[in-house]
Chain A
Amino acid sequence: DAKTTQPPSMDCAEGRAANLPCNHSTISGNEYVYWYRQIHSQGPQYIIHGLKNNETNEMASLIITEDRKSSTLILPHATLRDTAVYYCSPNAGGTSYGKLTFGQGTILTVHP
């Protein structure tokens, strides 16, 4: 299983960009990098995923380093509602449904 390392907590001012890093140095060639977030006492929700190219959707951007050993989730204009725990998780893509694990996550606090 690919292991992940994330900072335990980060702060961000409302309206500024939040950049959340994740180290996944043991990621396999066919594993995608997925990001989820969890608001208190709810189930995690999908944000974005990528294999080796940078990705953007309506929620966030994902930057993956060329060697794929780390990635950064970017929330371009953080709001108070973005306060949550953010999980980075390498997963096998395609039709492989093996063991899917998560790290400890990063608690992001957005303050006024």
Chain B
Amino acid sequence: DGGITQSPKYLFRKEGQNVTLSCEQNLNHDAMYWYRQDPGQGLRLIYYSQIVNDFQKGDIAEGYSVSREKKESFPLTVTSAQKNPTAFYLCASKGTVSSRREKLFFGSGTQLSVL
């Protein structure tokens, strides 16, 4: 089955440490997105990529970095510069076909906590 996979489901970060969240999709989608969700809050856009080797900052990019070396993969690194990284992180992808059925597909999320 095609889908989008995030790993790990739970991740712990020590002070001053960089951690990387994985996002892989086998839907052959060009566009991929990273969102952050805090308790009781909506989804805030961190970074997005419309094509391989290209990405743009979202609304809250500070303290995060991404890469898009392969179409299938869009890893997110939470750097030590992100002072409040505890949150639920969601990855999503969107199809390339010009179709009325276009929509975002979300992964199941990664909960990041600071030790």
Residues from chain B with a CB closer than 8 A to the CB of A36 are 104, 106
Question: Bound complex: CA of A41 vs CA of B42, how far in Å?
Answer: 12
- Mark interface residues in A73-108 (1 if CB within 8 Å of B CB, else 0): 000000000000001000001110111111111000
Given contacts A95-B96, A97-B31, A102-B43, are A44 and B48 in contact (CB under 8 A)?
no
Q: Is the beta-carbon distance between A41 and B88 smaller than 8 angstroms?
A: yes
CB distance from A25 to the nearest CB of B (A): 18
Question: Bound complex: CA of A105 vs CA of B42, how far in Å?
Answer: 6
A68 at the interface (CB under 8 A from B): no
Question: Bound complex: CA of A87 vs CA of B35, how far in Å?
Answer: 14
Q: Is the beta-carbon distance between B43 and A87 smaller than 8 angstroms?
A: yes
6 smallest A-B Cβ distances: which pairs?
A43-B106, A97-B31, A104-B42, A102-B43, A46-B103, A97-B50
**A-side interface residues toward B, CB under 8 Å?**
34, 36, 41-46, 49, 87, 93-95, 97-105
